[in-house]
Amino acid sequence: MKEKVQGFFDRITPTLNKIAANKYLLTIMKSMMATLGLTIIGSMSVLLVVFPIKAVPDFINKIGLTPILNLTDTITVGCLAVYIVFLMAKNLVPHFISGDDGTMAGIIALMNFLILTPLKMVTEKSASLSTIPTTWLGTQGIFSAMLVGLISARVYVYIKQHGWTIKMPESVPPMVSEAFEALIPLLVEGVIFILISWLFTFTSYGCLHQAIYSLIQIPLKHVGGSVLAMIFISILQQILWFFGIHGTNVLLPLVTPIWLSMDMEDLQAIKAGKEIPNIIGLGFFNIITWSGLALGLVLLMIFAKSQQYKKLGRLAVVPAFFGITEPVIFGTPLVLNFDLAIPFIFNNTIAIIISYTLIKIGIVAKFIGAQAVFGLPLGFHAAVEGSASIIILQILIQLVLSPILWWPWFRRVDRKAYALEQKSEVKK
């Protein structure tokens, strides 16, 4: 049976590796990761304003910091789509054109996105002013930003690869030459997106952003934003990891935009004093499946009978408390280790189901959608979600649930290792 399963994955591994190396998936992953700092500072700004201990927001408001923190949230999380559209174009172009860092493509993509964004007329002191509403600049515009960024980049690449650019003499400074090279792509794309924006004014959607939000983003949220979808992704990701394939690179680019947009919705809801709409999200997934629940295995190893696992546990325990579990993953190893396959593949899923249930019935608070920095120690990683119950949940998952889930399987491999060590000692 093991040989058949391994043979199957050996056959599909080249295809999965191609998916993991796909230019568009790599672009999405890199671009979304680049927004991590923005979401962290935006999350922290909201958290300070709505902190559950009343003395904290009262103090923040007293010293006059609340308006600045609200502004910070608006220009980070509230304008996330603006950053994403630029990053998508900038990060995709270098995959097609060597030596082009994609900066001009990112600027053109940003221009296209703003062309598609309808203005709002406001009257102030008897004067009419045009303003850009933040509706499509934040979470509701994420998918639109992704598509506009990728399409803009491909059009830019097509034009440059076909030589439809203004070539300047070599004596012209590179800065001037690059500006003229981008002129034709900018003009062509500008005309195209002006026409697209104009055509959508005749539809019931009014603008492209509304069409993408209604036809793509909302349906994807209903499908990919469910707990069943998260369970499926968790299991499939761990199966890929088990066979030595980077499951995170293959699958997370597909769901990160969905889960991150749900987190941003939660942040905006709590900022507005409304009920948090979502139970799950990217923050939920990262905190509940923190370190792949491998810390429990490391703790069991410290008390192992065999010297092999005891030494590995002592070596891996400190990094594991900071979410770094590569020493135990590759030192055990867990890859292609059929003796530990069941817990390695399914432990995350069990933690997700238990956590979701506890939140659903009200024992644990909902996550506010804040994004934590990787490398924070156990407990601190969950503290960004603004509730002691979430911190306790993460600690219990890692220190109680995880060892229990690993124990039956680890006990067997530890006994086998110990028996081999005893035989080796006898031979000596």
Q: Residue 427: its pLDDT value, please? A: 64
What gap in Å lies between CA 329 and CA 375, rounded to an integer?
17
Which amino acid would we find at residue 143? F
The separation between CA 71 and the C-alpha centre of its own chain, rounded to angstroms, equals 24
- Provide the strand spans (E) within 48-180: 120-124, 127-131
Measured torsion, CA atoms of residues 400, 260, 256, 146, in degrees rounded to the nearest 10: -170
Could you say which DSSP state residue 120 is in? E
* CB-based contacts of 70, cutoff 8 Å, min separation 6: 45, 49, 271
From residue 108, how far is each of 84, 113, 180 by CA, in Å?
13, 9, 13
Render each residue's pLDDT in the chain as its tens digit; 428 residues.
566 666 666 677 677 677 777 899 889 989 998 998 899 898 889 888 888 788 888 999 999 999 999 999 999 989 999 999 999 999 999 999 998 899 999 999 999 999 999 987 666 665 567 778 888 999 899 999 999 999 999 999 999 998 888 877 776 677 767 778 888 999 999 999 999 999 999 999 999 999 999 999 999 888 888 999 999 999 999 998 888 877 777 788 889 999 999 999 999 898 888 899 999 999 999 999 988 899 999 999 999 999 999 999 999 999 999 888 888 888 888 888 889 999 999 999 999 999 999 999 999 999 999 888 777 889 888 888 878 999 999 999 999 999 999 999 999 999 999 988 888 776 65
Q: Residue 134: its pLDDT value, please? A: 84
What gap in Å lies between CA 338 and CA 293, rounded to an integer?
18
Q: Residue 213: its pLDDT value, please? A: 94
* CB-based contacts of 60, cutoff 8 Å, min separation 6: 48, 49, 51, 66, 69
Task: Answer positive or negative: Cα dihedral of 372, 375, 381, 384.
Answer: negative
DSSP calls for 92-132: HGGGTSTT--SHHHHHHHHHHHHHHSPPEEEEETTEEEEE-
Q: Residue 3: its pLDDT value, please? A: 65
pTM score? 0.85
